Amino acid sequence: MTLSYFNIQKFCIHDGPGIRTTVFLKGCPLNCLWCHNPESKHTRVEVMFHAEKCTGCGRCLGFCDARKRGEDGRIIFDRSLCTACGKCAERCFNHAIRVCGKQGSIEDILEQVRKDKPFYETSGGGMTISGGEPAMQPEAVLALIEAAKAEGIASAIETCGFGNREFFIRAHELGALFLFDIKGIDPEKHKANTGVYPDLIHKNLDMLLEMGAKVIIRLPLIPGKNDSEEDLRLLTQFLAQRKDRVDHADIMAYHELGVSKSHQLGVDVDDTIPAGKAFAEGWRSVLRESGVEIRISGE
């Protein structure tokens, strides 16, 4: 059993309590306009090309038809011809090319996670499975959580909530903490922003809360996309209806790191969205009316 992933990041402090190792999986059922991990959207292996780092040395040429030198001397990358073999990345001195995506066995991934077990034990941390969306690889993710549990390593799941209810039930039974995103309440606006309606997401959240699962609601707020006065009113109402079952909610203010990564993947995105940090305190002052403790991630 293997998992499709693109990174295992050490010493994370914003992906759940304590010090954590975060496993970033590939594949997501949503298509958020503001995605900050665009390399996680597809399960397939992808090539990221950082054109600004390319010096035009030509070491990547000659392996396939996807790369050639333009009239101005710069390297041209034709993605339609790329097979993601990775040979160009192996020869790039300037780290302008990166192959994103690999398959790893449960044991291979756990071997990386267990190296930092002393930090988890002293900080109350553990392993966080992120993405992408963990619910897209349910059996392998559950196997990883179970293997970590057997070694005394706590697990958290960062999820958009769009997945089979059985996955969430079984993850809860294994003791997982859910970092559960709510990206909007209005159905049509949610569909426009993410590509899916929120009904299943909200049903899975309520199911977990009813079961007494460990849940932290996370609120990705994006200036101009899901933070209007009406958006915040609906979100405040949504939280108020669940205040007796929610410990707290974290505002995840939009940041622009996903824009450059999208460009490296050859994807056009809206690069006019301002960073959300300056708006976060105003959002919190409104959402506090729900009666739920509202925190700002990173504070």
pLDDT digits (tens, 9 = 90+) for 115-136: 999 999 999 999 999 999 999 9
What is the pLDDT at residue 201?
98
Chain-centroid distance of CA 94 in Å reads 27
Beta-carbon neighbour count of residue 210 at 10 Å? 9
For 210, list phi and psi in degrees, rounded to 5.
-65, -35
* Contact in structure between 201 and 159 (CB atoms under 8 Å): no
Same domain, 224 and 109: yes
Provide φ and ψ at 217, rounded to 5°: -80, 135
Residue 235: its H or E element: helix 229-240
Q: Within this chain, do residues 234 and 108 fall inside the same structural domain, yes or no?
A: yes
- The pLDDT of 186-200, averaged and rounded, is 98
**pTM, 2 dp:** 0.93
Is there a single domain that holds both residue 110 and residue 87?
A: no
Q: Is the pLDDT at 71 greater than 90, yes or no? A: no
Residue corresponding to tokens 């809360």? 209
Cis omega (within 30 of 0) for bond into 131: no
What is the rounded average pLDDT of the residues 181-204? 98
Both 139 and 270 in one domain: the answer is yes
Domain range for 154 is 2-43+102-296
What's residue 4's pLDDT? 97
Q: Are residues 222 and 210 in the same domain?
A: yes
Q: CA 116: distance to chain centroid?
A: 21
Residue 218 and residue 92 share a domain: no
Mean of the pLDDT values across residues 81-110?
93
* Residues 95 and 126 occupy one common structural domain: no
Residue 299 confidence (pLDDT): 76
Angle, helices 106-114 vs 138-150, to 10°: value is 40
Looking at the structure, do residues 136 and 61 belong to the same domain, yes or no?
A: no
For residue 158, give every residue at least 6 positions away whose Cβ sits within 8 Å of its Cβ, in sequence order, or none. Answer: 15, 22, 128, 129, 130, 131, 134, 179, 181, 218
Q: Do 143 and 190 reside in the same domain of the chain?
A: yes
What's the rounded Cα separation, in Å, for the pair 22 and 19? 10
Q: Are strands 2-12 and 20-25 parallel, antiparallel or unpaired?
A: antiparallel
Same domain assignment for residues 160 and 212: yes
